[in-house]
């Protein structure tokens, strides 16, 4: 299926910078990845998101030429870099791309200048070109004054900036990032996230970014591919992935959700709406997602989309009286547990408005905020 992000780009006749088709990667007898297929429009920041072990780094490494696939096609620009049918596997150094790793992998015994100059030197650039390239790359990461500093005398964040400058210095067609921020502390990670996004924009370079960090993926990407067990679960813009998860896995991994199962039934009173008959009562939601009446289905309601009220809200559907079972203060938010239909539902709401354990309140959820999933969580 074509994602919204891809459709928008197709509308603007965006060129495809990277194409991965039916890629499979095995470790011995174990299938680690695939088959996976996706294409990255030129200039986009594309993110592979998923839990540890889902195959995102392996996919990235295969694109970089550091892992030999078992089958499929990897195309960068209009050149095949790997093709099982053609028995072709272009070496990493001839793929015109640059990779930034989690460990900064800069050389501590060299100066910042020599670290950044490395890619230009191995490409046999002239001294003037090297000097200009290093200067430009250091300016990009705001490290102009550090050229003569030994790399060992830099903070973690500065070292990662040098690694970035080194990756950008020879103007690669494609930048690959493998969890580049995960060794930094939370504050610096937040700042670097914004800097990296701006850098990617100002260079206009196509990039693939690997992370298991949801916020990082949402904040930095034009398009996110969610991976699970070596396969793609869903791809789309951050907005689509967050608001319209298609599977129970995506609903749960991309932000926290309550997954509620029941039987699909038409709402005879309104004619249009669909109702899910659940243990907690009838839950009205917007669409049946191709489900037939009478079928078992699961819907996802984000913890931040469930509302609690001290008075019964007027004119709303999906309202139930509930008792607060637990209230956990998390700083900006409180996490509240209520019992509903013999199970726990989790609500996250502003912590400014405290609610006490044992308090009787009303729970509501807007039908438009309930997303019927394509798979049934109970069957998973």
Ligand X SMILES: Nc1ncnc2c1ncn2[C@@H]1O[C@H](COP(=O)(O)OP(=O)(O)OP(=O)(O)O)[C@@H](O)[C@H]1O
> Which positions lie near ligand X, rule CB under 6 A?
27, 32, 50, 52-58, 212
Nearer to ligand X, 27 or 239 (CB): 27
Nearer to ligand X, 221 or 298 (CB): 221
Nearer to ligand X, 163 or 227 (CB): 227
Q: How far is the CB of 32 from ligand X (least distance, A)?
A: 3
The neighbour count for residue 374, using CB atoms within 10 Å, is 16
DSSP single-letter state for residue 292? P
> Are 300 and 380 in contact, with CB atoms under 8 Å apart?
no
The residues near 314 (Cβ < 8 Å, ≥ 6 apart) are none
Q: How far is the CB of 128 from ligand X (least distance, A)?
A: 40
Q: How far is the CB of 25 from ligand X (least distance, A)?
A: 8
Q: How far is the CB of 256 from ligand X (least distance, A)?
A: 20
Distance CA 241, CA 246 (A): 8
Extended beta strands in 42-96, E state: 45-49, 71-76, 79-83, 88-89
Q: How far is the CB of 39 from ligand X (least distance, A)?
A: 20
> Are 247 and 375 in contact, with CB atoms under 8 Å apart?
yes
Q: How far is the CB of 248 from ligand X (least distance, A)?
A: 19
To the nearest 10°, report the CA torsion of 79, 80, 81, 83. -170
Distance CA 266, CA 292 (A): 10
Neighbour-count burial for 62-87, b at 16+ CB within 10 Å, e otherwise: bbbbbbebbbbbbbbbeebbbbbeee
Nearer to ligand X, 33 or 306 (CB): 33
Nearer to ligand X, 226 or 274 (CB): 226
Q: How far is the CB of 55 from ligand X (least distance, A)?
A: 4
DSSP single-letter state for residue 320? E
Nearer to ligand X, 212 or 305 (CB): 212
Kindly tell me the sign of the dihedral angle through the C-alpha atoms of 65, 71, 74, 79. Answer: positive
Distance CA 79, CA 252 (A): 38
The residues near 183 (Cβ < 8 Å, ≥ 6 apart) are 102, 103, 104, 156, 160
Nearer to ligand X, 102 or 171 (CB): 102
């Amino acid at each position: 299926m074509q994602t919204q992000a891809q459709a928008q780009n197709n509308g603007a006749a965006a060129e495809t910078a990277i194409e991965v088709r039916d890629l499979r990667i095995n470790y011995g007898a174990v299938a680690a990845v695939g088959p996976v297929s996706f294409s990255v429009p030129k200039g986009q920041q594309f993110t592979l998101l998923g839990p540890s072990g889902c195959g995102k780094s392996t996919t990235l490494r295969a694109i970089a030429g550091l892992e030999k696939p078992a089958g499929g096609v990897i195309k960068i620009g209009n050149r095949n870099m790997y093709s099982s049918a053609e028995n072709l596997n272009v070496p990493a150094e001839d793929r015109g791309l640059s990779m930034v790793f989690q460990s900064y992998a800069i050389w501590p015994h060299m100066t910042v200048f020599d670290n950044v100059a490395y890619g230009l030197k191995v490409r046999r650039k002239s001294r003037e070109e090297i000097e200009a390239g290093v200067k430009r790359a250091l300016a990009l990461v705001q490290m102009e004054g550090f050229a003569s500093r030994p790399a060992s005398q830099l903070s973690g964040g500065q070292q990662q900036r040098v690694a970035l400058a080194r990756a950008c210095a020879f103007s690669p067609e494609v930048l690959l990032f493998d969890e580049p921020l995960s060794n930094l502390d939370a504050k610096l990670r937040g700042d670097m996230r914004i800097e990296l996004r701006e850098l990617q924009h100002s260079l206009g370079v196509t990039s693939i970014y690997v992370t298991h960090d949801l916020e990082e993926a949402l904040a930095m990407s034009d398009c996110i591919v969610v991976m699970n067990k070596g396969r793609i679960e869903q791809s789309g813009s951050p907005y689509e992935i967050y608001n319209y998860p298609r599977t129970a896995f995506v609903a749960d991994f991309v932000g926290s959700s309550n997954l509620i199962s029941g039987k699909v039934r038409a709402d005879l009173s309104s004619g249009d709406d669909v109702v899910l008959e659940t243990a907690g009562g009838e839950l009205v939601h917007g669409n049946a997602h191709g489900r037939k009446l009478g079928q078992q289905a699961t819907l996802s309601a984000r913890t931040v989309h469930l509302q609690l009220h001290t008075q019964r809200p007027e004119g709303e559907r999906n309202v139930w009286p509930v008792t607060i079972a637990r209230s956990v203060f998390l700083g900006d938010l409180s996490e509240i547990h209520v019992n509903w239909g013999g199970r726990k539902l989790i609500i996250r709401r502003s912590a400014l408005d405290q609610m006490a354990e044992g308090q009787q309140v009303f729970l509501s959820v807007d039908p438009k905020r309930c997303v019927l999933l394509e798979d049934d969580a109970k069957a998973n």
